[in-house]
Amino acid sequence: METKEIAEVYRLMKQLMSEELLFKELHVDCGISNASVLEIKDKRSASKKLVSQLEARLLLLKFLTTKDKELLDPICYDGTKLSELKELSENLVEKINILIPELNQRFANLQEKIRILADKVTAVKAMSQQYSKLKREKVDKIQEIFEQHLPVSDFYLHEDLLSKIEMAKTACQNGKENLSKLQIKLEDMKGSCEQLSETLSQKENLYQTQNQKLEKQLNLSQQLYQVYESFTGVSLKKYDKNSVQIELKAPQDGGTSLLVTFFFKQSKSGNMLVSDVQVNNSDVYITDCIEHVQKLQNLPSCVKNIISRWHYYSSLKEQISDIQNRLPADWMQHLNRLRVVVGKNANIICTLQLSSVDHPNIALLSLRGGDVKMKGNISPTNTDASVKEWVAYLEEYFG
């Protein structure tokens, strides 16, 4: 084979495997991505190297077959080396013949993949065109609907409507922010209302307590008023939340009145009790009258007993005053006794026990003076005799 022929074969092979033509077709026409193109390019480079090696070995075999000695290296004139090279070349030819079908199969597979990719790219382009067409049709349809249902003036105010929509969105956002602020204020007001409710509840409890006290005071006032109305000769002098003062008129006209003051306190259970009773005349003994007067329901009987004691004291005082005007007499009020001197020579001292709750009738306790001794029962025939009648009886008895 001539050198020119070999060069022409080499040129044709290079032209058949032009990388620029192949990669441009894959990337532009088929729409294959750059990554896929680079992968194919790497495989293409490996194929080129293999073809280059096969090309060189093919030329060498052709040279050996034609025995073109002018193109051989001078070393090939050595028969021993030439024989070795020939054997080596034959082995290489055998290996090349084995590799050529595999290379052809790989090249065919590559061409098939390129074809499949090209079909897919074509299908994608068709779908893209169909989508663009549908999109244009949809836009045209919407445009047509707007033109049919909106006035021309409103249609051309599309930008103004968009501006108003944006303003509405801004106003809506501001409204949401204001709503959040109002919610915070509402929570604060809710807390304030809860505090106010708690304060009102406390005040309500306080008012209820005060109202209960007022009701009890009113109840006390009503009971005292009932007591006041149930007795004659009793008048109300002073009154406050802790005490009441009444005036008991003297049984005799022109006599001195008796002032009785009742003091009250509240028990643990909240009921009003009588804590103390005082009179303005210490000579009137009322201790036994007020022993069981703590409860308000016992107040009428207490007042009744004090009135009876006051009338008894007034009458007794008047009688003793008459006796003291005639005879030597000593009224021992703390002992509720009367010591009187009788007899012709005024030398007999008689001690009388005046009437009381324990001793309802007057009794003679002792006699002193002269030669007189108590013999038998010395007393008037009338067991209910007054102190004045008793003294008259003693005067007559020892006169």
Fold of the domain spanning 231-314: Copper Amine Oxidase; Chain A, domain 1 (3.30.457)
Identify the DSSP state of 208. H
Q: How confident is the model at residue 1 (pLDDT cuts 50, 70, 90)?
A: very low
Which residue(s) pair with 366 in the sheet?
351
Residue 102: both structure tokens together: 């595999």
The pTM assigned to this predicted structure is 0.42
- Mean residue pLDDT across the chain: 76
CA distance 289 to 277: 10
**Kind plus residue range of the DSSP H or E element containing 258:** strand 258-266
Give the mean model confidence (pLDDT) for residues 139-160.
Answer: 65
Asked whether residue 377 carries a pLDDT value surpassing 90, the answer given is no
Asked whether residue 78 carries a pLDDT value surpassing 70, the answer given is no
Give the mean model confidence (pLDDT) for residues 316-345.
Answer: 89
- Considering only residues 68 and 86, tell me which one the structure prediction assigns the higher pLDDT: 86
CA distance 93 to 64: 12
Residue 391: both structure tokens together: 């003294």
| Residue carrying the six token digits 């009785």 | 260
Give Cα 248 distance to the centre of its chain. 63
Q: What are phi and psi of 381, to 5 degrees?
A: -65, -30
| Torsion angle of C-alpha atoms 378, 380, 385, 390, degrees rounded to 10 | -60
Give the mean model confidence (pLDDT) for residues 260-276.
Answer: 80
CA distance 48 to 50: 5
Q: What does 141-195 look like in DSSP terms, one character per residue?
A: HHHHHHHHHS-HHHHTTHHHHHHHHHHHHHHHHHHHHHHHHHHHHHHHHHHHHHH
What are the residue boundaries of the structural domains of the chain, listed by start? 3-140, 157-221, 231-314, 327-397
CA distance 182 to 257: 76
The CA-atom distances, in angstroms, between 297 and each of 88, 222, 262 are: 148, 12, 14
382 CB burial (10 A radius; 0-12, 13-18, 19+) = exposed
Out of 67-71, 178-182, 219-223, least confident range: 67-71
Closest CA to 339 of 326, 354, 322: 354
| Torsion angle of C-alpha atoms 120, 126, 132, 137, degrees rounded to 10 | -140
State whether residue 342 is helix, strand or coil: strand
Give the mean model confidence (pLDDT) for residues 124-131.
Answer: 85
**The predicted structure's pLDDT at residue 7:** 61
| Torsion angle of C-alpha atoms 314, 315, 318, 320, degrees rounded to 10 | -110
CA distance 347 to 57: 188
Handedness of CA 64, 69, 72, 77 (dihedral sign): positive
Residue 44: both structure tokens together: 């293409």
Give the mean model confidence (pLDDT) for residues 154-175.
Answer: 74
Range among 24-38, 337-351, 353-367 rated most confident:
337-351
CA distance 175 to 187: 18
**The predicted structure's pLDDT at residue 104:** 82
Residue 49: both structure tokens together: 């190297």
- Taking residue 391's Cβ as centre, other Cβ atoms within 10 Å add up to 24
Give Cα 265 distance to the centre of its chain. 42
Alpha helices in the chain (DSSP H): 3-16, 19-24, 34-66, 79-149, 152-155, 158-230, 299-326, 387-397
Residue 227: both structure tokens together: 């007591």
Asked whether residue 124 carries a pLDDT value surpassing 80, the answer given is yes
**The predicted structure's pLDDT at residue 341:** 93
Q: What are phi and psi of 268, to 5 degrees?
A: -65, -30
CA distance 340 to 330: 6
Residue 330: both structure tokens together: 């000593």
